[in-house]
Amino acid sequence: MNETQWAEAQSKFAADGHERVDEFVEGWVYVSKPSDDPTMGSGFAWRDGVLYYVQNPLILMLVPPFASEFADGAPPS
C-alpha cells in the first residue's frame, strides 16, 4: 500500500467513524475501542508501504518500524 492508498484508507475509516490518533504512533487508527482506556482496542498503522493490524496498539513496540517511536517518547499512561 503506497502513501496515497493509505490516505484514502484513512478517509474511509474516518467516514465509518473510526478514530485516528497519534497517541501511540503517528497515524494510529482505532477500529475497535471498547473503553476509554487507550491501550484497549484494535487498529491499523502504516509504515514504509506496509499496513499493520494489531489487537492492541502497544504491540507496535515489538514491530521494528515502530519501535523507535516508542523509544523516543513513551506512550501516555
Global pTM value: 0.81
Instruction: Show Cβ contacts of residue 10 under 8 Å, excluding neighbours closer than 6 positions.
Output: 20, 27, 29
Taking only the tens place, the pLDDT of each residue in 9-56 is 999 999 999 988 888 899 999 998 878 887 888 999 999 999 999 999
Spans of all domains in the chain: 3-72
> Is a pLDDT exceeding 70 seen at residue 76?
no
Burial class (CB within 10 angstroms; exposed 0-12, middle 13-18, buried 19+) of 24 = buried
- pLDDT value at residue 15: 94
